[in-house]
């Protein structure tokens, strides 16, 4: 167990400050290797900022280790080469390139210059495999810009897979997807987070979380509020208090505390 933690993601006392505003305030976070961790919390809780700090986009203090390597202070592309991949809250793919070209670029960061200057012949094996996994085998030559929203998100996940990332950080990967697409994505992510690869998902969708999360960390105002299994986190009164405020979780409403519920919404909103 301790062994696995050592090889996974280990964040200590992470702080990110924007012009005096503390977006992430001393976060400790351990994600063991092979885990499928959900990172949740109200808007502005600092979820995306943590992903930004881990991937080198935002300046941070503290420590972020993956495996044996310290990531903080390294350049973005070096962190990526160390096996950390991410997606963005709004799907970003290379719209004017085809699906195949998108994946080929993602697969190629290790290519030497001489190979870059030659043309691609055929489909690389890693790309071929992933094309099937992300259900885009029929769309290899389509421009990524013409894909449906859900397909773009899949393409992004596919890019992480061919990139051979060991740690995958996904920022709201199922936003805007249909029910079937969500289930397919969830199943795919479960499959990915199996043994060697660690997956961290930022998500607002509670139903999706309940179905697929193995462990959950709840953030609030830049700090860790609660952590554990889905059941543990849901039972935590602190979490209920925060989530009543955002009124996003239908489950809490379904628990049937209408009167208190309404008061809670107003109360917490003013506070937030």
Partner 1 sequence: MSALDRLTRPGPLRAALGFGLGALVLLVVAPATLSQFRLDLLAKYLCFGIVAVGIGLAWGRGGMLTLGQGVYFGIGAYAMAMHLKLAQTPPGELPDFMQLYGEVTELPLWWQPFRQASVAVPATVLLPMLVAFVLGQAVFRRRIKGPYFAILSQALAAAMAILIVGQQGTTGGTNGLTDITSFFGYDLGDPVNRTTVYVVVAVCLLGCLAVARQLMQSRYGELLVAVRDAPERVRFLGYDPANVQTFAYTVAAGMAGLAGAMFVCAVQAINPASIDIVPSIAFVIGVAVGGRATLLGPALGAIGVAWLTTAASEALADRWTYIQGGLFILVVAFLPNGLASLPRVVGDAVRRRPAEVTS
Ligand X SMILES: Nc1ncnc2c1ncn2[C@@H]1O[C@H](COP(=O)(O)OP(=O)(O)OP(=O)(O)O)[C@@H](O)[C@H]1O
Q: Note the residues at the interface with Mg ion (CB under 5 A).
A: 48
Cβ closest to ligand X, residue 21 vs residue 113: 21
The one segment of 16-24, 149-157, 180-188, 191-199 that binds ligand X by CB under 6 A: 16-24
Q: What is the DSSP string of 42-69?
A: STTSSHHHHHHHHTTSS--EEEEEETTE
232 binds partner 1 (CB under 8 A): no
Residue 272 lies near partner 1 (rule: CB under 8 A): no
- The residue among 159 and 174 lying less far from partner 1, judged by its C-beta, is 159
> Considering CB distances under 5 to 8 angstroms, the limit depending on partner class, which of Mg ion, ligand X, partner 1, none binds residue 228?
none
Q: Which of 8, 31, 35, 48 binds ligand X (CB under 6 A)?
A: 48
- DSSP per position, 137-153: GGGTTSBGGGS-HHHHH
Cβ–Cβ < 8 Å for 163, 85: yes
Q: Rounded to an integer, what distance in angstroms lies between the CA atom of residue 224 and that of residue 215?
A: 14
List Cα–Cα distances, 185 to 155, 215, 220, 270, in angstroms. Answer: 11, 17, 26, 36
Q: Identify the helix (H) or strand (E) that includes residue 15.
A: strand 9-18
One residue of 26, 34, 44, 267 binding ligand X per CB under 6 A: 44
Q: Give Cα separations from 26 to 104, 220, 224 (angstroms).
A: 38, 12, 9
Summarize as ranges the residues that interact with partner 1 (CB under 8 A): 55, 57, 75-77, 80-81, 85-86, 88, 92-97, 101-102, 104-106, 108-111, 115-120, 159, 163
Summarize as ranges the residues that interact with ligand X (CB under 6 A): 18, 21, 23, 41, 43-49, 89
């Amino acid at each position: 167990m301790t062994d696995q933690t050592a090889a996974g993601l280990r964040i200590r006392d992470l702080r990110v400050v924007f012009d005096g505003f503390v977006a992430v305030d001393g976060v400790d976070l351990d994600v063991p290797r092979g885990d499928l961790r959900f990172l949740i919390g109200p808007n502005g809780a600092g979820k995306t900022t943590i992903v930004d700090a881990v991937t080198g986009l935002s300046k941070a203090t503290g420590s972020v280790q993956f495996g044996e390597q310290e990531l903080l202070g390294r350049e973005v592309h070096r962190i990526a080469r160390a096996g950390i991949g991410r997606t963005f809250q709004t799907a970003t793919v290379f719209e004017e390139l085809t699906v195949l070209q998108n994946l080929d670029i993602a697969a190629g960061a290790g290519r030497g210059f001489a190979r870059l200057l030659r043309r691609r012949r055929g489909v690389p094996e890693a790309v071929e495999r992933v094309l099937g996994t992300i259900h885009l085998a029929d769309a290899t030559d389509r421009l990524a810009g013409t894909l449906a929203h859900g397909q773009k998100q899949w393409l992004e996940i596919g890019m992480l897979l061919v990139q051979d990332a060991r740690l995958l950080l996904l920022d709201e990967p199922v936003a805007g997807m249909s029910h079937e697409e969500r289930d397919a994505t969830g199943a795919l992510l479960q499959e990915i987070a199996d043994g060697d690869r660690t997956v961290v998902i930022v998500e607002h969708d509670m139903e999706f979380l309940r179905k697929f999360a193995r462990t959950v960390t709840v953030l609030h105002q830049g700090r860790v509020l609660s952590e554990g299994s889905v059941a543990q986190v849901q039972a935590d009164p602190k979490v209920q208090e925060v989530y009543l405020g955002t009124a996003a979780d239908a489950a809490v409403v379904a628990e049937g505390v209408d009167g208190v519920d309404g008061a809670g919404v107003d109360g917490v909103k003013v506070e937030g």
